[in-house]
Amino acid sequence: MIRASWLEKLLLLCADFVALTVCFYAAFWLQFQSGWVPEKLDLGRHFSSYYQAALVVNILWIIIFAVSGLYRKWLLESRVFQILIVIRAVSYGLVLILVALFGMDGLQRIFAPDQLPLAFTYGSRIKLVLAYVTLSVICVASLRLFIQYCLRVLLRRGFGVDRILVLGASDQGWAITEQMRKSPELGQQVIGFMDERYAQIPDKEFHGLPVLGKYADLPRILKRERIAGIIISHESSSIREVLRIFDWVAELPIHIYVVPDLYDVVAGHFKGNLVHGIELQEVFAYNLAPWQVQVKRLMDIGVAGLLLLLTLPALLITAIAIKLNSKGPLFYCQERVGLYGRPFMVYKFRTMHTDAEKGGPQWATKNDPRITSIGRILRKTRIDEIPQLLCVLKGDMSMVGPRPERQHFVEKLREQIPLYMFRLKMKPGLTGWAQVRHSYDTSIEDVEKKLKYDLYYFENMSILLDVQILVRTIWVVLTGKGAQ
């Protein structure tokens, strides 16, 4: 079944293209066939001669709309706010149109009061442009609102809804369930409850909905029931219990909602997204816009590919040095835990002796005797990390993100550090905010410090922050700061 969010984006994209095509045709008709611009009247012209130009213009508009954030999930947000974003996006397009048609002189006449008015100089052309962009706002906004009205009708009938679990078979949990039942157009349907008192609940039902198990059963139930989100009802959940719930579900691709009273507990540390129409807050929400996700991936491919080409001579010299310095393989291959707990193989230049972990996995220490003499140089200059660029190109890693960890340490640290598993909501990175702000992990205390940096990155993730981290990484490499 197609989820409502993907169907909404697809329909909005198609609706925008249709609306913009209608507006382009309207501009053509006004200019050449309506007589509104007498000097441009030409009944012999046909729109078929302009369809290629219309296609190019529409694609440019779609790009502007995407950058403006018009292709995210709007069903839970205000219609007025969406119209305002449409107006803002069309305004950006208007500036580009004026520059394309009239050059910088056009903009100067708008913002410089001592210049002749734009309409005085360019006459009917400026009137035509204003009519085109005004009609664009009206058509795009109208079709979008119509699409969302139709989607809400489908959602009321249960098509494409997100399946939700309420944690806590309590009065608070039932009140939230009733609110959602009264607002089916929001696309979220409560299908059952989870409760720590599962064994004592008669018939394993609460107000006619099934109680599916205890909180410890969450990982299994969430996958089995294809759950899109959970709501934590604080009446039956202590803070310690909430942290345990976070740990159980952190690596799963689901939304986590809490009631406002509980949200106040974590509001000083984590951002939240208001769920329109219902008194809930989403915690640990992924705030990177879809278009930025695509830009981030393109940036990963571009930077990784360029670095591999630029460092090729250094890689050849490094390979020779490793072989001459100690016996063993050239590369160190190891399984790491990636996005949402998916395992992948990571590749690095070998910097330790081949028997470095004969006693089991362990952290590197200061002046670690297991590290070879060449390996110490490679670690200090971070050259040993360069082969991980292959993981970036494959898509297992990003250029910027939390450090990928081994399953052994993940299982150990999730028990010792609250919220540690939320690192798995991000694709691991070759470098990251934690890596440039702190040294290698040598203790639990180091991991706790780096977790704070990782969560800061998750809450403030952006293309600009990625660029900043990449620049800081260059400084770290040049100075050898934080090497172990």
State in Å, rounded, how far the first CA of the chain is from the last one.
Answer: 50
Q: What is the pLDDT of residue 165?
A: 93
CA 134 to CA 51: how far, in whole Å? 21
Better-scored residue on pLDDT, 246 or 40: 246
CA-CA distance, 23 to 136, in Å (whole number)? 6
**What is the token pair recorded at 181?**
């039942």
Q: 348 - beta bridge partners?
A: 332
- Position 49 scores a pLDDT of 76
pLDDT for the residue numbered 183: 79
- 219-228 mean pLDDT: 90
412-447 pLDDT tens trace? 888 788 788 888 888 999 999 988 887 666 667 778
- 104 has a pLDDT exceeding 60: no
Homologous superfamily (CATH) of 162-283 is: NAD(P)-binding Rossmann-like Domain (3.40.50.720)
* pLDDT range class, residue 74, cuts 50, 70, 90: confident
Query: How much is the pLDDT for 143?
Result: 94
Q: Provide the pLDDT for residue 179.
A: 85
pLDDT higher than threshold 90 for residue 10: no
* 121-156 pLDDT tens trace: 455 677 788 888 999 999 999 999 998 888 888 877
86 vs 473: CA distance, rounded Å: 38
Give the integer Cα–Cα distance in Å for 396 and 413: 22
Asked if 221 and 227 count as a contact pair (C-beta separation under 8 A), the reply is: yes
Predicted confidence (pLDDT) per residue in 330-344, tens digit: 888 889 999 988 999
Average predicted confidence (pLDDT) for the chain:
81
Comparison of pLDDT for 451 and 281, the residue scoring more: 451
pLDDT at 2: 46
* pLDDT score for 356: 63
pLDDT in tens, 253-281: 888 888 766 545 455 444 555 555 566 77
Q: What pLDDT score was predicted for residue 41?
A: 67
Predicted confidence at residue 375, as pLDDT, reads 80
Angle CA 392–398–401, to nearest 5: 145
Say what the pTM is. 0.68
Q: Which of 331, 382, 335 is nearest to 352 (CA)?
A: 331
pLDDT the model gives residue 45:
76
Residue span(s) of the chain under CATH 3.40.50.720 come to 162-283
Mean pLDDT to the nearest integer, 50-61:
87
CB atoms < 10 A from the CB of 197, how many?
12
Distance CA 383, CA 319 (A): 11
Return d(Cα 260, Cα 237) in angstroms, integer.
14
pLDDT, tens only, 288-323:
777 788 889 999 999 999 999 999 998 899 888 888
Asked whether the predicted pLDDT for residue 381 surpasses 90, the reply is no
pLDDT tier at 460 (50, 70, 90 boundaries)? Answer: confident
User: Model confidence at 18, in pLDDT bands (50, 70, 90)?
Assistant: very high
Percent helix, percent strand, percent coil in the chain, to nearest 5:
60, 10, 30
